[in-house]
Amino acid sequence: MTWQPTLTWGNAQKRANILQEIRQFFAERNVVEVETPALSQGTVTDVYLDALTCKYNFLADSISEQSVDLFLQTSPEFHMKRLLASGYGCIYSIAKAFRHEEAGRYHNPEFTMLEWYRIGFDQFELMSEVADLLKLVLGGDKALFTSYQDIFIETISVDPLVATFDELVEVLTKHGKAADWLIEMNDADLLLQFIFTEIIEPTIGVNEPQFIYDFPIAQASLAKKSLDDPRVAQRFECYFKGIELVNGFNELTDATEQVARFEDDNKKRLEQDLPAKPIDRSFIAALKHGLPQCSGVALGIDRLVMLALDIKDISEVQCFSIERA
């Protein structure tokens, strides 16, 4: 192990300049910066996300001899929505986020996330604003916008909204991606996500940022259903040069439906021999109180800096990677 940083002084200054540009971008739009807790009593139920946990003995309603689990946040989302429900206007946060996953070229278990919420925006208005921010930081003139359904049809000639399990297995076999464990799960949505990640993602946003929108409802537990097609939800992602940069939603505001989706997440977790996660009751209480119609988006700052500085490994845009932390 070495004590030295993985981020050079020169690139540290460039990263700081990018953060200053981002803050100026929001200042000009009257979007206010907020801070949210890194530790929380609640966490996400997402099947594909795991939070880091720690023990705490001093909550007001617990006895000091018995510790409770607190969770390092995978994003500031739930706290920011609680702020919106309490009467805050349009807000953004540049915050540390934590995910219990393997480190790699694009991943570090601790990273910096930019998240913002725009009251009254739909997903297309927010996608446009994201494109403006990317143009400011990365340059370029345009972005591409393609629906999830269309990108499947264009890339593999399969409609993901009507394809059968057997048809999806055939696609995997054709591309040499079939695996016994994957097929044995007997989950068509899991196959869709695997096909998207392994076959379609490498073709997206090669020369300019490309937004993919209207994901299947099962892949968007925090987004509103589309008014035009109830099979999909108003969720979008953005890719550029092989990197997933952005994940956004026209936010679900119905507390009852949100609880049902969280419970469905936990059902899937149990089916995959994963532990169920506690539903964040403070977040649900905020939804019951009333979340204004809004759209929100999360953007990986470290990945954005990688693109801006033409750097190939996330460790080189962070002062200390997990191996040197």
pLDDT tens for each residue of 42-61 = 999 999 899 999 999 988 87
The torsion angles phi and psi of 96, rounded to 5 degrees, stand at -70, 140
- Is the pLDDT at 194 greater than 80? The verdict is yes
Q: pLDDT confidence of 141, banded at 50, 70, 90?
A: confident
Q: Are 159 and 153 in contact (CB under 8 A)?
A: yes
Task: Give the chain's mean pLDDT.
Answer: 94
Q: What percent of the chain has pLDDT over 90?
A: 86
Distance CA 263, CA 77 (A): 18
Distance CA 229, CA 213 (A): 13
Tell me, what's the pLDDT at 255? 96
Tell me, what's the pLDDT at 33? 98
Least confident of 92-106, 129-143, 173-187, 245-259: 173-187
Strand partners, 40: 71
Tell me, what's the pLDDT at 173? 93
Altogether, the residues listed in the chain come to a count of: 325
Q: Which residues of 247-276 are buried (b: 16+ CB within 10 A; e: fewer)?
A: bbbbbbbebeebeebbeebbebbeeeeeee
- Is the pLDDT at 204 greater than 80? The verdict is yes
Tell me, what's the pLDDT at 7? 97
Tell me, what's the pLDDT at 185? 83
Q: pLDDT confidence of 294, banded at 50, 70, 90?
A: very high
| Residue 235 neighbours by CB under 8 Å, 6+ apart | 123, 213, 214, 215, 219, 220, 222, 223, 247, 248, 249, 250
How far is CA 207 from each of CA 54, 126, 204, 213, rounded to the nearest angstrom?
42, 21, 9, 18
Tell me, what's the pLDDT at 260? 94
Cα angle value 139/145/150 (rounded, 5°): 145
How far is CA 205 from each of CA 146, 243, 312, rounded to the nearest angstrom?
11, 8, 16
How far from each other are the two terminal CA atoms of the chain, in whole angstroms? Answer: 10
Can you read off the two tokens belonging to residue 60? Answer: 């007001």
Residue with tokens 């500085």: 309
Distance CA 34, CA 66 (A): 32
- Is the pLDDT at 26 greater than 80? The verdict is yes
Per residue in 4-22, pLDDT (tens digit) is 999 999 999 999 999 999 9
Q: Are 92 and 42 in contact (CB under 8 A)?
A: no
Tell me, what's the pLDDT at 306? 97
Q: Are 174 and 198 in contact (CB under 8 A)?
A: no
- Is the pLDDT at 162 greater than 80? The verdict is yes
Helices (H) and strands (E) in the chain, counts: 10, 11
Helix (H) or strand (E) holding 191: helix 188-195
What type of residue is 220?
A
Mean pLDDT on 70-83: 97
- Is the pLDDT at 113 greater than 90? The verdict is yes
Mean pLDDT on 68-77: 95
- Is the pLDDT at 197 greater than 80? The verdict is yes
Q: Which residues of 151-165 are buried (b: 16+ CB within 10 A; e: fewer)?
A: bbeebbebebbebee
Mean pLDDT on 189-196: 93
pTM for the full model? 0.93
Residue with tokens 């540290």: 12
Per residue in 78-106, pLDDT (tens digit) is 999 999 999 999 999 999 999 999 999 99
Tell me, what's the pLDDT at 257? 92
Tell me, what's the pLDDT at 104? 94
How far is CA 295 from each of CA 110, 117, 153, 158, rounded to the nearest angstrom?
25, 6, 27, 29
| Closest to 249 measured CA to CA, from 283, 212, 222 | 222
Supply the DSSP string of 128-147, one letter for each residue: HHHHHHHHHHH--S--EEEE
Tell me, what's the pLDDT at 316? 97
| Closest to 238 measured CA to CA, from 253, 228, 249, 225 | 249
